[in-house]
């Protein structure tokens, strides 16, 4: 999720990639994207025709996933809009389309697609992104409700950690820096920065600085730099803090 991880001006990057993008990076085939056949054509198409359609849709979804992974979001959007009409019953298409719209800053449309993905798949993987769409639209009550549902579902530590970052950002946006710090502190207490959790530590250091707790901010930025000197903009932040 971005550089200044809790600032409303910089939307987080989805840390939980869509399954289609993960499969593409791993060189695997994406799962079949179900094509819904209705009307007079239902029951008239052969199994081989339907399988051929499914293969074509799956191939196009893989192309869109590659564009998404390469940050070519407009290309991905163009492909996914066509796919959504051909495979409107595909949760995978909904997920990737929602994340593409999110990366383009089209919050209401992204929210709709990701909510439909959740309803179709039951997956909570993109709940942090759903919460951040609400946050981007200043709909903090809905963002908090989404975080609460995610926390109760507790799908995986990684997804919950992403949700916690968004929840802290919501509190900071509303001026509750102390509450945001407390939310992140609770999950990081008695640990030290590690590569997989640097984003959370960076967010906490950023909050400390904004809250005027400069020695704590400097200490955490220094710890992050010791783990990864090139992480985010920690070098510049340390120089600015003196």
In the block, residue with structure tokens 């025709």: 49
97-117 as b/e: b if 16+ CB within 10 A: bbbbbbbeebbebbbbbbbbb
Predicted local distance difference test score (pLDDT) of residue 27? 52
Question: What is the rounded distance in angstroms from the CA atom of residue 132 to the CA atom of residue 136?
Answer: 6
Question: What is the rounded distance in angstroms from the CA atom of residue 33 to the CA atom of residue 2?
Answer: 30
Predicted local distance difference test score (pLDDT) of residue 15? 47
Q: Mean pLDDT of successive 10-residue segments in the chain (242 residues)?
A: 41 53 50 45 62 85 96 96 89 96 96 97 96 96 98 92 94 95 86 81 94 95 93 95 91
Helix (H, G, I), strand (E, B) or coil at 208: helix
In the block, residue with structure tokens 């007079």: 40
Predicted local distance difference test score (pLDDT) of residue 56? 87
State pTM to two decimals.
0.81
DSSP H helices, the chain, are 19-25, 47-69, 73-86, 91-103, 107-121, 127-136, 140-153, 157-173, 177-188, 198-210, 214-227, 234-241
Predicted local distance difference test score (pLDDT) of residue 35? 44
């Amino acid at each position: 999720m971005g550089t200044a991880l809790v600032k409303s001006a910089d939307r987080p990057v989805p840390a939980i990639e869509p399954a289609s993008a993960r499969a593409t990076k791993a060189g695997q085939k994406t799962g079949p994207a179900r094509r819904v056949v209705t009307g007079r054509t239902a029951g008239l198409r052969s199994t081989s025709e339907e399988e051929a359609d499914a293969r074509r849709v799956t191939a196009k979804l893989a192309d869109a996933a590659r564009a998404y992974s390469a940050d070519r979001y407009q290309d991905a959007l163009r492909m996914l809009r066509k796919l959504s009409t051909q495979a409107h019953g595909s949760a995978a298409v909904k997920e990737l389309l929602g994340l593409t719209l999110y990366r383009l800053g089209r919050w209401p449309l992204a929210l709709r697609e990701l909510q439909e993905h959740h309803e179709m798949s039951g997956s909570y993987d993109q709940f942090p992104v759903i919460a951040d769409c609400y946050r981007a639209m200043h709909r903090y009550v809905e963002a908090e409700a989404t975080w609460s549902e995610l926390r109760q579902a507790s799908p995986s530590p990684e997804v919950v950690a992403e949700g916690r970052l968004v929840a802290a950002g919501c509190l900071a946006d509303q001026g509750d820096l102390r509450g945001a710090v407390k939310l992140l502190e609770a999950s990081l207490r008695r640990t030290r920065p590690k590569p997989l959790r640097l984003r959370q530590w960076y967010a906490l250091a950023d909050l400390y600085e904004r809250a005027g707790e400069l020695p704590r901010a400097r200490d955490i930025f220094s710890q992050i730099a010791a783990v990864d000197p090139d992480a985010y903009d920690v070098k510049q932040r340390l120089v600015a803090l003196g």
